[in-house]
Amino acid sequence: MSFRICLVNLLGFCLIFYEDHGRFCLDTVWQLPKPSISHLKAVNDKQSLLVSWLVKHSDFVGNIYEIQISRTENHTVIYNRNISLFSMDSNEYTWAWTSELPLECVDHSVRIRHFSNQSVPSPWSNWVTNDGVQPTDKTKLFPNQRVLREGTSAVFCCVPTRGVSITSITLNDNKSYIINIGARVKALKLDNLTIPTQRIKVLSLICTDSTGKQSYAGKYVSFPPQKPRNLSCATSDMTTVTCTWDPGRKRDQFDRNMQTRTLHIENSDQAPIQCEQSSCTFSAIPQLKEYNISVLVKDQLGEETESYSFNISDRVIPVVEWGRVSPGVTDTTLSWIVQANLTQLNLLCQVTTDPGSTTEMSCNSVSGLCKVKLELLPNTRYSTRVRCSVNGRLWGEWTQPRSFTTCPLVTLDVWRSIKQLSDPNSRQVTLLWSLHVSDSAATVHIQGYIVQWSEAQNWTEWKDSGQTQAEVSIGPGQYEFTVQAVLHIDSTIFAHITIPKSDGENRPVEKRLNSSTPAGFNLSWDQLDTATCGYTVEWCILGHAVPCTLRWMKVPEGNNTLFLPARNFKEGCRYTFNIYGCMENGHRLLEIQTGYSKELTSLQSPNLVEPVQSTSSSVTLEWHYNEDDPAHPAFITGYLVMVQKVGSDMPSDLFNVSVADPRRKSVTIEGLQQNQEYTLLVSALTKEGPGQPASITIRTRTNYSAHLAKILIPILLLLGCTILLWPQRGR
Ligand SMILES: *[C@@H]1O[C@H](CO)[C@@H](O)[C@H](O)[C@H]1NC(C)=O
Ligand SMILES: *[C@@H]1O[C@H](CO)[C@@H](O)[C@H](O)[C@H]1NC(C)=O
Ligand SMILES: *[C@@H]1O[C@H](CO)[C@@H](O)[C@H](O)[C@H]1NC(C)=O
Ligand SMILES: *[C@@H]1O[C@H](CO)[C@@H](O)[C@H](O)[C@H]1NC(C)=O
Ligand SMILES: *[C@@H]1O[C@H](CO)[C@@H](O)[C@H](O)[C@H]1NC(C)=O
Ligand SMILES: *[C@@H]1O[C@H](CO)[C@@H](O)[C@H](O)[C@H]1NC(C)=O
Ligand SMILES: *[C@@H]1O[C@H](CO)[C@@H](O)[C@H](O)[C@H]1NC(C)=O
Ligand SMILES: *[C@@H]1O[C@H](CO)[C@@H](O)[C@H](O)[C@H]1NC(C)=O
Ligand SMILES: *[C@@H]1O[C@H](CO)[C@@H](O)[C@H](O)[C@H]1NC(C)=O
Ligand SMILES: *[C@@H]1O[C@H](CO)[C@@H](O)[C@H](O)[C@H]1NC(C)=O
Ligand SMILES: *[C@@H]1O[C@H](CO)[C@@H](O)[C@H](O)[C@H]1NC(C)=O
Ligand SMILES: *[C@@H]1O[C@H](CO)[C@@H](O)[C@H](O)[C@H]1NC(C)=O
């Protein structure tokens, strides 16, 4: 049955006239009473109207209400809809409608009527009007004071002053969107709002009225808050807790959508805490271990909340501050302070060094002072950082790197020389020492040296820092000497040496070094199994010249070679190297090697023995020469005699005779001419050549057997004649 028209209403009954299968009928039907709107409420900032009316419980089944919304004083219907009622508790029904146009722009009126399938629809209720803003002496723009939500659409309107109408609205100089609302008000619709990209993030609206007056309004577009992401809390000292989160999309600095953030500790009665944009700090609640917190972010366009639960002792991030760094030679002590009283927790710290590695250690000092001793290399620059955690759960920030340089390695090297005195029970020991610093640029301040040995009693001798040797008289037994360099308070270096007992040690045969390279001496010697603590090579820095300033060099066990560069040696100077083996009971001389870094020929001339023996065909030269004199600038390998016939430059009249044995100091030169002068030059010979010659000139004798015949025969003939002629004398 369709609804029919009520012709006359009498006491709730309608007289109706209708057509049924070609017949016209009159009937009376029950008509629903005229409904009435009990409340009309406008929520301006949400642009919604709440319409309320009373309904009877029986109205719920098969009942429909038609609602109309109109604008302006002429009730131009802009919205018309049928709604079915649903069950509800109260008997006042409320229905909401959201307007595109701000409600302030114009009057909005609402009316309703009631339909039921068993009766004639009710008459319309009276219009109930929500008034728009009353015109004043100023043009008004709506929505007013409200931040607009990005991505939505918005309708703006201009309400002119009394008696005037709006002629245009422009948005950022664009006039294309205008909608007329009634006679005076104009509106503009904008879809999909975006945050303006220009520097001032504002939509600028200009309304022009019929008098030509312009009014301006800026409108802000923003976005609602985002749920705080990665919310977490931590404490460095168990008394102040800081929660941080990622607030999500960044807001522009001109954004007018003011935000508030509050933190609630859900399981306490603490008042909410105001927060920064992405962090919040609050005081820990005494005795509270587990915290349930939530962070609420709220602004004009919405709100979001995020919650987080934690046990405070699981969220400790210790903060560490550097203490002292005390660099040593091979170890360095570092200390740092954990800035809170975390003694009850198991504090674990990590220390890294660069170069180097990471060391992990636990630190449970009551004062919060942690210390570690690191094994490091001497004289090296390191950079170190430290961080701590509770149980290794959450690591704190690394400290700023701290740089330091370990001390140079200083070693003391001790040697000795032993002199047997004429008394067989008495020896003179010279202890010699030198300091070696791994970094030659480093300065090491020495207070002095302490020399100690024991005999019947313990002896101690103090030597000032400038001294490098000590003389001690000892007996024939074995002695232990200790030399101690006193660097500064609490730092000393020891060196130890054993003086063997006097045993009338056989001196090894001196070996000549064949040839040294121009670079220096390449010493090598026979390995000795009992030399368990290496070898020592000693020499005098001036060779054989006196006094001898002793130099020594230690060679580790298992190595039986030593290279000594030539720059430390003088050419033409003979050096003797004593090679000692280091044994449990002292050092024993193993080998003596002697040689030159470079042999020179500036030898003295031999001393010729005169008179020189000669015959008519030979000369025997004899000379004196100390071939073993260590002052020679080279080893003597023999002698060279140069023979030159006087008054002749013929090459055949010049020849050499050499003597290959340096101990043979005479030579007979044969095959000379009789009664002839010869110059003889004798020089000592070395690998490098002859030295200064000694010269002598001699004449060979005459051969009489031949010579006498030549002279004697004429003489005898003359004598014979004289004798024969003698008797005739005086006749
Ligand atoms: C009226 O509506 C109710 C509920 O929808 C339905 O049960 C009933 O049959 C309807 N009556 C007529 C006459 O259409
Ligand atoms: C509401 O329902 C009535 C009856 O069915 C109908 O006449 C009217 O046109 C409907 N109104 C709308 C807006 O649908
Ligand atoms: C004005 O707005 C219209 C409609 O959105 C658009 O097509 C046009 O490009 C705009 N003009 C200017 C100058 O912004
Ligand atoms: C309202 O009605 C009056 C009289 O009928 C008419 O003059 C006026 O223009 C109407 N206003 C609108 C906005 O339609
Ligand atoms: C709204 O504007 C944004 C940015 O200009 C664009 O990415 C988006 O697709 C638009 N949405 C609609 C529904 O037009
Ligand atoms: C949030 O935390 C997760 C896991 O811890 C991480 O992968 C992600 O990058 C974090 N997001 C932000 C925005 O910090
Ligand atoms: C914290 O919240 C969790 C989950 O909501 C709940 O199970 C727990 O009991 C709460 N803890 C406290 C101490 O309130
Ligand atoms: C806190 O500690 C208790 C007991 O130690 C444990 O049962 C609980 O799960 C912890 N809560 C959180 C949030 O870690
Ligand atoms: C550190 O805490 C322990 C236990 O809470 C307390 O006994 C001690 O006195 C505290 N020390 C300092 C220096 O506050
Ligand atoms: C010498 O000193 C050593 C070590 O200090 C000690 O053991 C020893 O008894 C001392 N000897 C004498 C004779 O004082
Ligand atoms: C020196 O050289 C000679 C021959 O060249 C050789 O027999 C001798 O072993 C060498 N001596 C040394 C100490 O090298
Ligand atoms: C011996 O020492 C020298 C110099 O330190 C080194 O060059 C050489 O290799 C060493 N020889 C052996 C066998 O260790």
The verdict on 468 and 520 lying in the same domain is: no
The verdict on 348 and 304 lying in the same domain is: no
Q: What is the pLDDT of residue 489?
A: 54
Per residue in 543-592, pLDDT tens?
888 788 999 999 999 899 999 998 989 988 999 999 999 998 899 999 99
Averaged pLDDT for residues 394-415: 89
Q: Is 646 in the pocket of ligand 4 (CB under 6 A)?
A: no
The verdict on 66 and 84 lying in the same domain is: yes
Q: Is 527 in the pocket of ligand 12 (CB under 6 A)?
A: no
Give the pair of three-digit tokens for residue 475. Answer: 């007996």
Return the CA Rg of the chain: 63
Averaged pLDDT for residues 205-225: 89
Q: What is the pLDDT of residue 87?
A: 62
Ligand 10 centre from 453 Cα, in Å? Answer: 10
Distance separating alpha carbons of residues 68 and 38, to the nearest angstrom? 15
Nearest CA to ligand 3 atom 1: 174
Pocket test for ligand 1, best of 117, 118, 119 (most atoms within 8 A of CB): 117
Averaged pLDDT for residues 427-446: 84
Specify the DSSP element, H or E, that contains 713: helix 704-725
Distance separating alpha carbons of residues 147 and 51, to the nearest angstrom? 26
The DSSP 8-state label assigned to residue 706 in this structure reads H
Q: What is the CATH number of the domain that holds 266?
A: 2.60.40.10
Of ligand 6's listed atoms, the one at least distance from the Cα of 246 is: 13
pLDDT band at 22; cut points 50, 70, 90 = confident
The verdict on 618 and 699 lying in the same domain is: yes
Q: Reduced to 3 states, what is the DSSP secondary structure of residue 496?
A: strand
User: Does 508 score more than 50 pLDDT?
Assistant: yes
Averaged pLDDT for residues 419-434: 90
The verdict on 689 and 618 lying in the same domain is: yes
pLDDT band at 176; cut points 50, 70, 90 = low
Averaged pLDDT for residues 651-669: 90
Q: What is the pLDDT of residue 667?
A: 93
- Tell the burial category of 173 from Cβ atoms under 10 Å away from its Cβ (0-12, 13-18, 19+): exposed
Q: Is 514 in the pocket of ligand 11 (CB under 6 A)?
A: yes
The verdict on 438 and 483 lying in the same domain is: yes
Nearest CA to ligand 7 atom 1: 292
Q: Considering the domain boundaries, does residue 11 fall inside one?
A: no
Q: Considering the domain boundaries, does residue 682 fall inside one?
A: yes
Of ligand 8's listed atoms, the one at least distance from the Cα of 311 is: 1
Whether 128 contacts 70, CB under 8 Å? no
Q: Considering the domain boundaries, does residue 5 fall inside one?
A: no
Pocket test for ligand 7, best of 231, 267, 305 (most atoms within 8 A of CB): 267
Higher pLDDT, 720 or 122: 122
- From the list 612, 610, 619, 617, the residue with the least C-alpha distance to 675 is 617
pLDDT band at 1; cut points 50, 70, 90 = very low
509-514, long-range: CB < 8 A, 24+ apart: 509/592, 510/576, 510/592, 510/593, 510/594, 511/591, 511/592, 511/593, 511/594, 512/593, 512/594, 512/595, 512/635, 513/593, 513/594, 513/595, 513/596, 514/595
Domain boundary among 130, 158, 183: 130
Per residue in 133-143, pLDDT tens?
988 888 999 98
Whether 522 contacts 563, CB under 8 Å? yes
Q: What is the pLDDT of residue 3?
A: 52
The verdict on 331 and 299 lying in the same domain is: no
HSE on the CB side for 16, CA within 13 Å? Answer: 19
Whether 270 contacts 297, CB under 8 Å? no
Q: Considering the domain boundaries, does residue 358 fall inside one?
A: yes
Averaged pLDDT for residues 383-406: 89
Q: Is 66 in the pocket of ligand 2 (CB under 6 A)?
A: yes
Of 176-180, 522-526, 627-631, the poorest mean pLDDT is in 176-180
Higher pLDDT, 656 or 7: 656
Q: What number of helices (H) and strands (E) belong to the chain?
A: 1, 55
Distance separating alpha carbons of residues 320 and 624, to the nearest angstrom? 87
Domain boundary among 596, 617, 632: 596
The verdict on 36 and 124 lying in the same domain is: yes
Q: Is 400 in the pocket of ligand 3 (CB under 6 A)?
A: no
Distance separating alpha carbons of residues 363 and 343, to the nearest angstrom? 9
Q: Which residues contact 17 (CB under 8 A, 6 or more apart)?
A: 5, 7, 24, 25, 26, 27
Q: Is 176 in the pocket of ligand 3 (CB under 6 A)?
A: yes
Distance separating alpha carbons of residues 226 and 431, to the nearest angstrom? 84
The verdict on 585 and 615 lying in the same domain is: no
The verdict on 446 and 465 lying in the same domain is: yes
Q: Which domain holds residue 278?
A: 229-314
Whether 395 contacts 350, CB under 8 Å? yes
Q: Considering the domain boundaries, does residue 538 fall inside one?
A: yes
Nearest CA to ligand 11 atom 6: 514
- From the list 474, 526, 528, the residue with the least C-alpha distance to 497 is 474
Ligand 9 centre from 389 Cα, in Å? Answer: 18
Of ligand 10's listed atoms, the one at least distance from the Cα of 456 is: 13
Other C-beta atoms lying within 10 Å of the C-beta of residue 725: 9
Q: Is 268 in the pocket of ligand 7 (CB under 6 A)?
A: no
Specify the DSSP element, H or E, that contains 658: strand 654-659
Q: Which residues contact 579 (CB under 8 A, 6 or more apart)?
A: 523, 525, 535, 536, 537, 589, 590, 591, 592, 593
Q: Considering the domain boundaries, does residue 354 fall inside one?
A: yes
Nearest CA to ligand 9 atom 5: 344
Q: What is the pLDDT of residue 61?
A: 60
Q: Which residues contact 130 (CB under 8 A, 6 or more apart)?
A: 40, 42, 49, 103, 107, 108, 109, 110
Query: What is the total count of domains within the chain?
Result: 7
Q: What is the pLDDT of residue 707?
A: 63
Q: Considering the domain boundaries, does residue 728 fall inside one?
A: no
Dihedral angle over CA of 350, 353, 357, 361, nearest 10? -30
Averaged pLDDT for residues 19-43: 83
| DSSP codes joined into one string, 627-642 | TT-TTSSS---EEEEE
Nearest CA to ligand 7 atom 14: 267
Q: Which residues contact 115 (CB under 8 A, 6 or more apart)?
A: 3, 32, 63, 64, 65, 66, 82, 121, 122
Of ligand 4's listed atoms, the one at least distance from the Cα of 73 is: 1
Per residue in 581-620, pLDDT tens?
999 889 999 999 999 988 888 889 999 998 888 888 899 9
Distance of CA 68 to the CA centre of its chain: 77
Q: What is the pLDDT of residue 368?
A: 80
Ligand 8 centre from 100 Cα, in Å? Answer: 51
Averaged pLDDT for residues 391-410: 87
* Nearest ligand (C-alpha, residue 561): 12
User: Does 281 score more than 90 pLDDT?
Assistant: yes
- Tell the burial category of 461 from Cβ atoms under 10 Å away from its Cβ (0-12, 13-18, 19+): middle
Q: Considering the domain boundaries, does residue 42 fall inside one?
A: yes
Distance separating alpha carbons of residues 501 and 424, to the nearest angstrom? 12
* CA-to-CA dists, residue 656 to 184, 688, 696, angstroms: 144, 17, 15
User: Does 280 score more than 90 pLDDT?
Assistant: yes
What percent of the chain shows pLDDT beyond 70? 94
The DSSP 8-state label assigned to residue 477 in this structure reads S
Domain boundary among 259, 282, 314: 314
Q: What is the pLDDT of residue 709?
A: 65
Distance separating alpha carbons of residues 413 and 431, to the nearest angstrom? 11
Ligand 10 centre from 482 Cα, in Å? Answer: 13
Average pLDDT, the chain: 87
Whether 181 contacts 101, CB under 8 Å? yes
The verdict on 43 and 119 lying in the same domain is: yes
Ligand 7 centre from 292 Cα, in Å? Answer: 6
Nearest CA to ligand 1 atom 7: 62
User: Does 318 score more than 80 pLDDT?
Assistant: yes
Averaged pLDDT for residues 27-45: 86
Averaged pLDDT for residues 171-182: 77
Of 96-105, 173-182, 448-457, the poorest mean pLDDT is in 173-182
Nearest CA to ligand 1 atom 2: 62
Q: What is the pLDDT of residue 417?
A: 92
- From the list 559, 541, 561, the residue with the least C-alpha distance to 550 is 541
The verdict on 309 and 334 lying in the same domain is: no
pTM of structure? 0.61
| Amino acid letter for position 640 | L
